[in-house]
């Protein structure tokens, strides 16, 4: 078995494997306080919209508190099979917090799969650590691979040398995302790509994006309808109607299997995915 291939005992992720969602749960540990990009549809005073519902602000906890929370949750909910970090900011804006949380969990010897979500800007250098820590599941949000579309979706990107804007920012982010997904698949991670669907901006581009993701070996795609937030430059946009999402999932599904049961959980969610709240976009 290659170094980062998932053991069968940890293949029970309720999000990546739809068949597992009625038997296994997940916990999100909100240790990631800040973000290294600015999406046009986000105003960063709540959870990252790529995995989470807007308007629900989670308290950030330390890696030590995260381990404590996980241990208590496992006593109450032994069906939890995966612990993930998905906000409230980006998990690799301050990567030391994410990695320390995973290190503490592994040092404790807890039998649980690990999962992380990111915009992909700053993951690449940390792939060896993720392998060492046996983090098998990674989600990268990729809304486009066209920098022209990217300039409408991303307002700025922070780099070690300063903040960049416009086409330069979009191109850098897209290059990092593609490089990251490619490296993750080469290292046998199970990779999901989330894409926020913004009507009139990237909806027409989704089949092309899915085809490219298939070429990279992506395991699963999750098309997420835009939630237009007050105070953002996309406040006046209409969210895509359910029929449009359904159509896009069908088109993208020709290339990459589609997730249809995402609940857009908050960054401190725990327990089973709530099937009662299942969206009607499937």
CA-based nearest residue to 5, from 128, 137, 106, 123: 137
Phi, psi of 230 (to 5 degrees): -60, 140
Subset of residues 113 to 152 that bind ligand SF4, contact rule: CB under 6 A: 119
- The single residue among 264, 267, 268, 281 that binds ligand SF4, judged by CB under 6 A, is 264
Subset of residues 147 to 186 that bind ligand SF4, contact rule: CB under 6 A: none
Q: Least separation, in Å, of the C-beta of 189 and ligand SF4?
A: 15
Q: Does 69 bind ligand SF4 (CB under 6 A)?
A: no
Q: Least separation, in Å, of the C-beta of 42 and ligand SF4?
A: 3
Contact pattern for ligand SF4 over residues 72 through 91, marking x by CB under 6 A = --------------x--xx-
Of the pair 4, 267, the CB lying nearest ligand SF4 is at 267
Q: Which long-range contacts (CB under 8 A, 24 or more apart) does 171-177 make?
A: 171/147, 172/121, 173/37, 173/119, 173/120, 173/121, 174/142, 174/144, 174/145, 174/146, 174/147, 174/150, 176/120, 176/121, 176/122, 176/123, 176/124, 177/119, 177/120, 177/121, 177/140, 177/142, 177/145
Q: Does 223 bind ligand SF4 (CB under 6 A)?
A: no
Distance CA 124, CA 79 (A): 32
- The single residue among 37, 114, 170, 226 that binds ligand SF4, judged by CB under 6 A, is 37
Distance CA 240, CA 140 (A): 21
Peptide bond into 36 cis (omega under 30): no
Q: Does 6 bind ligand SF4 (CB under 6 A)?
A: no
Counting residues that bind ligand SF4 (by CB under 6 A) gives 21
CB 83 within 8 A of CB 103: no
Tell me which stretch binds ligand SF4 (CB under 6 A): 46-54, 125-133, 197-205, 247-255. Answer: 46-54
Q: Does 206 bind ligand SF4 (CB under 6 A)?
A: no
CB 90 within 8 A of CB 37: yes
Tell me which stretch binds ligand SF4 (CB under 6 A): 44-52, 72-80, 105-113, 130-138. Answer: 44-52
Q: Does 249 bind ligand SF4 (CB under 6 A)?
A: no
SS3 176: helix
Q: Which residues bind ligand SF4 (CB under 6 A)?
A: 15, 26, 35, 37-39, 42, 44, 48-51, 86, 89-90, 119, 262-265, 273
């Amino acid at each position: 078995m290659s170094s980062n291939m998932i053991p069968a005992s940890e293949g029970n992720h309720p999000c990546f494997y739809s068949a597992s969602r009625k038997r296994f749960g997940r916990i999100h540990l909100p240790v990631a306080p800040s973000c290294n990009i600015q999406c046009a549809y986000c105003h960063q005073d709540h959870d990252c919209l790529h995995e989470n519902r807007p308007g629900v602000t989670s308290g950030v906890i330390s890696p030590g508190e995260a381990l404590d929370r996980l241990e208590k949750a496992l006593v109450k909910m032994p069906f939890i099979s995966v612990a993930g970090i998905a906000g409230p900011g980006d998990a690799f804006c301050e990567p030391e917090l994410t990695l320390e949380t995973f290190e503490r969990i592994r040092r404790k010897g807890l039998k649980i799969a690990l999962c992380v979500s990111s915009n992909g800007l700053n993951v690449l250098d940390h792939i060896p650590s993720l392998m060492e820590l046996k983090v098998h599941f990674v989600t990268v949000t990729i809304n486009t691979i066209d920098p022209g579309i990217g300039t409408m979706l991303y307002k700025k990107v922070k780099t070690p040398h300063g903040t960049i804007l416009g086409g330069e920012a979009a191109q850098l982010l897209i290059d990092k995302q593609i490089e990251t997904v490619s490296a993750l698949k080469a290292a046998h991670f199970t990779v999901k790509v989330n894409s926020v669907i913004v009507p009139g901006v990237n909806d027409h581009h989704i089949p092309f994006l899915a085809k490219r993701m298939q070429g990279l070996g992506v395991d699963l795609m999750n098309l997420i309808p835009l939630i237009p937030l007050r105070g953002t430059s996309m406040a006046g946009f209409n969210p895509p109607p359910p029929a449009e999402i359904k159509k896009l999932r069908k088109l993208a599904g020709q290339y990459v299997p589609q997730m249809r049961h995402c609940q857009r959980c908050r960054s401190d969610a725990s327990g089973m995915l709530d099937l009662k709240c299942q969206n009607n976009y499937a």
